[in-house]
Amino acid sequence: MMKPILIVPSYKEGGGGGHLARCTALAEELRSLGRETRLYAPDAPLAVPEGGFAFIVLDRFRTSLADFLTWRRLAPVAGIDEGGPCRNYADFLIDLLPNLEKTPPNIRKPGLLRFPATRRPSWEESRADGAERSGRKPLRVLITFGAEDAAGLAIPAAAALAAKSGLEATVVFGALNRSAQPHAQMQKDALRKKNVVVLEYIPNLSERLAEYDLVVTHFGLTAFESLYARVPVALASPTAYHEKLARNAGFFTVGRGKKGVRRLKKLNLAGEPLAALRRQCREIAERYGVAPAAPSTAPSVGESLAHALNSIAIHAADCPICGGAMNGAAGTKRFSPASARFYDRTYRACPVCGITYMSRSSPPPIEYAKDYFFDFYKKQYGKTYIEDFPNLVQSGRKRLSHIVSVMKTRTVSPADCEKPHVLDIGCAYGPFLVAAREEGFAPTGIEAAEDAASYVKNELGMPCFHVCFPLSHDNALFSDGQFDVISLWYALEHFENTSAALTAINKLLKKGGVLAFSTPSFEGVSAKGMPKARCARAAFLEKSPPDHYTVWSPSKTRGILRKFGFDLKKLVITGHHPERFPLLGKLVIGKNGVRRGAAYRALLTASRLFGLGDTFEAYAVKM
DSSP labels for 148-174? T-TT--HHHHHHHHHTSSSEEEEEE--
What confidence tier does 296 reach under pLDDT thresholds 50, 70, 90? Answer: very low
Omega before 531 within 30 of 0, i.e. cis: yes
Domain identity same for 403 and 330: no
What confidence tier does 442 reach under pLDDT thresholds 50, 70, 90? Answer: very high
Domain identity same for 85 and 181: no
Report CA-CA distances (Å) from 292 to 94, 189, 316, 358. 20, 41, 34, 33
Judged by DSSP in three states, 138 sits in coil
Under 8 Å between Cβ of 545 and 595:
no
Residues counted in the chain? 623
Q: Using a CB cutoff of 8 Å and minimum separation of 24, what contacts does 68-71 make?
A: 69/332, 69/333, 71/8
What is the CATH number for 225?
Answer: 3.40.50.2000
Span of 25-34, 155-164, 170-179, 254-263 with lowest mean pLDDT: 170-179
- Residue 35 to residue 32: CA distance in whole angstroms: 7
Higher pLDDT, residue 446 or 529: 446
Kindly state whether residue 127 falls inside one of the protein's structural domains.
yes
Going by their DSSP bridges, the two strands 338-342 and 253-256 should be labelled as unpaired
Going by their DSSP bridges, the two strands 421-425 and 107-108 should be labelled as unpaired
Report CA-CA distances (Å) from 106 to 165, 290, 592, 594. 47, 19, 38, 36
- The average pLDDT across 56-65 equals 90
Kindly state whether residue 199 falls inside one of the protein's structural domains.
yes
Report CA-CA distances (Å) from 322 to 347, 469, 563, 571. 15, 19, 9, 22
Kindly state whether residue 554 falls inside one of the protein's structural domains.
yes
Candidates 361, 352, 347; CA nearest to 333 is 352
Kindly state whether residue 399 falls inside one of the protein's structural domains.
yes
Domain identity same for 58 and 196: no
- Taking 80 as the threshold, does the pLDDT of residue 369 lie above it? no
Higher pLDDT, residue 16 or 571: 571
- The average pLDDT across 471-484 equals 82
- The average pLDDT across 222-236 equals 94
Number of domains in the chain: 3
- Residue 2 to residue 572: CA distance in whole angstroms: 46
Under 8 Å between Cβ of 252 and 270:
no
Kindly state whether residue 77 falls inside one of the protein's structural domains.
yes
Report CA-CA distances (Å) from 590 to 200, 525, 529, 587, 613. 71, 20, 21, 8, 21
Under 8 Å between Cβ of 62 and 101:
no
- Residue 282 to residue 278: CA distance in whole angstroms: 6
Compute the 3-state secondary structure of the chain and give helix, strand, coil in percent, each to the nearest 5: 40, 20, 45
571 CB-near residues (< 8 Å, 6+ apart): 554, 557, 616, 617, 618, 619
213-228 tens-digit pLDDT: 999 999 998 999 999 9
Residue 562 has a CB neighbour count (10 Å cut-off) of: 13
**Which DSSP helix (H) or strand (E) runs through 135?**
helix 123-136
Kindly state whether residue 47 falls inside one of the protein's structural domains.
yes
Domain identity same for 150 and 259: yes
584-602 tens-digit pLDDT: 888 888 767 777 788 888 9
Average pLDDT, the chain: 85
What confidence tier does 457 reach under pLDDT thresholds 50, 70, 90? Answer: very high
Domain identity same for 377 and 447: yes
- Residue 197 to residue 194: CA distance in whole angstroms: 9
- Residue 396 to residue 378: CA distance in whole angstroms: 20
One-letter amino acid of 113: L
Candidates 526, 107, 549; CA nearest to 341 is 107
Going by their DSSP bridges, the two strands 345-349 and 338-342 should be labelled as antiparallel
Kindly state whether residue 572 falls inside one of the protein's structural domains.
yes
281-294 tens-digit pLDDT: 999 999 988 865 54
Which residues in 74-92 are b (16+ Cβ under 10 Å) and which e? ebbbbbbbbbbebbbbbbb
385-433 tens-digit pLDDT: 777 888 999 999 999 999 999 986 554 555 555 789 999 999 999 999 9
One-letter amino acid of 32: S
**Which DSSP helix (H) or strand (E) runs through 554?**
helix 554-563
Strand partners, 347: 340, 358
- Residue 550 to residue 348: CA distance in whole angstroms: 10
What is the CATH number for 105?
Answer: 3.40.50
- Residue 321 to residue 323: CA distance in whole angstroms: 6
Kindly state whether residue 330 falls inside one of the protein's structural domains.
yes
Judged by DSSP in three states, 563 sits in helix
Q: Residue 344, class by beta-carbon neighbours within 10 Å (0-12 exposed, 13-18 middle, 19+ buried)?
A: middle
Domain identity same for 250 and 376: no
- The average pLDDT across 232-245 equals 94
Under 8 Å between Cβ of 19 and 9:
yes
- Taking 70 as the threshold, does the pLDDT of residue 334 lie above it? no
Enclosing domain of residue 458: 370-524+545-577+614-622
- The average pLDDT across 316-327 equals 71
Higher pLDDT, residue 111 or 129: 111
- Residue 243 to residue 591: CA distance in whole angstroms: 51
- The average pLDDT across 301-310 equals 80
Domain identity same for 92 and 198: no
- The average pLDDT across 452-471 equals 93
Which residues in 578-605 are b (16+ Cβ under 10 Å) and which e? bbbbeeebebbeeeeeeeeeebbeebbe
Under 8 Å between Cβ of 310 and 35:
yes
Candidates 301, 277, 309; CA nearest to 76 is 309
Domain identity same for 336 and 445: no
Residue 400 has a CB neighbour count (10 Å cut-off) of: 22
Domain identity same for 93 and 138: no
Domain identity same for 261 and 293: yes
- The average pLDDT across 151-157 equals 89
Domain identity same for 157 and 268: yes
Domain identity same for 131 and 268: yes
What is the CATH number for 417?
Answer: 3.40.50.150
- Residue 155 to residue 171: CA distance in whole angstroms: 8
- The average pLDDT across 99-116 equals 86
Rounded CA Rg of the chain: 31
What confidence tier does 297 reach under pLDDT thresholds 50, 70, 90? Answer: very low
Q: Give the pLDDT confidence score for residue 182 in this predicted structure.
A: 56
